[in-house]
A = this chain, B = another copy of it.
Amino acid sequence: MSNAESSLLVVGSVAFDSVETHTDKRVEVLGGAASFVSVAAGFLSPSPVRLIGVVGDDFPAAHTAFLEQQRVDLAGLERVTGRTFRWSGVYSPDFSTRTTLDTQLNVFQDFRPKLPAAWKSSDYVFLANIDPVLQLSVLEQAARPKFVACDTMNFWISGKRPELLRLLERVDMLLLNDEEARQLSGQSNLPAAARAIRAMGPRAVVIKRGDAGALLFHEDGVFSAPAFPIENVIDPTGAGDSFAGGFMGWLARIGNTSPQSIRTAMILGSVLASFSVEDFSLDRFRRLDISEIRERFAAFVDLVHFEKIKI
């Protein structure tokens, strides 16, 4: 059933995050969408996750060592002169809203993804949230991936809509949050938004709703993946990217994209996201092992289990 040869390529940001919550804060810790996606995927992917990104000369060896230890292949991580991408934000006490305090693109400003020759034939490709022009350039370099998924954000939906629409014609799945789905589609109702987005190209749409879980809309219908109720949320940063990582890591592991595999991937995405919020940065992943992932998967099975009674 599984295919040990499947490879997963991830493109996106590697960053220093400064995060403040109502109880604590962290300054310039490891962050960036591609970091979360790759490390989360690394727990499931059959082979090291291929990361395409850029960092400055201030990116410490400890971070590269950590990423490699988490089964992330850094052959596609460019190191250039200058400062690494920085983001800082603050959460409201109930984590319902997040305010960006500062974004410094730094070396990310001139990032042009370049796929190492050996990576052009990657089977699974995840385009994390970056300029859709760059996302497209990755697809132009890739040779017939089995499955391409991408993320995006409000900034590109309003600022680079034509480019984003060209990208959407070429991806199998779009993952985005509920507000982005509404903005992109012009529909406030989520099933209607998903229908409109599927008409733009992707045969599947995943709408991420934070602690309300995620909805999958595809040719097989609709699937609801709950979020795991976590009592002690420390930092939600990267939860959506960890979801994408668990999702893509499982597809690479199982080696197919059948409707049932996609559903399981949704749950494994939710599993990885549920761990991600339990600490700042990628710190929960530093002490996570596969037995905990198995346990939480079983907890998800129980979370939604009910008897199929006769009414």
Say which residue of B182, B191, B307 sits within 8 Å of A260 (CB atoms): B307
Cα of A209 to Cα of B215 in the assembled complex, Å: 15
Contacts of A266 in B (CB 8 A): 306
Say which residue of B191, B225, B263, B307 sits within 8 Å of A229 (CB atoms): B191
Contacts of A231 in B (CB 8 A): 189, 191-192, 195
Q: How many chain A residues touch B (Cβ–Cβ < 8 Å)?
A: 49
Interface flag for A264 (CB, 8 Å) = yes
Closest residue of B by beta carbon distance from A306: B263
Closest residue of B by beta carbon distance from A92: B188
Known: A221-B302, A264-B306, A309-B264. A215 touches B188 (CB 8 A): no
**One of A12-20, A157-165, A278-286, A289-297 at the interface:** A289-297
Can you tell how many copies of this chain the complex includes?
2
Are B304's CB and A224's CB within 8 A? yes
Say which residue of B195, B264, B311 sits within 8 Å of A293 (CB atoms): B311
Closest residue of B by beta carbon distance from A263: B306
Are A294's CB and B311's CB within 8 A? yes
Known: A188-B93, A264-B309, A311-B293. A226 touches B224 (CB 8 A): yes
Residues of A within 8 A of B (CB): 44, 93-96, 182, 188-192, 195, 209, 211-213, 215, 221-226, 229-233, 254, 260, 263-264, 266-268, 290, 293-294, 297, 301-309, 311
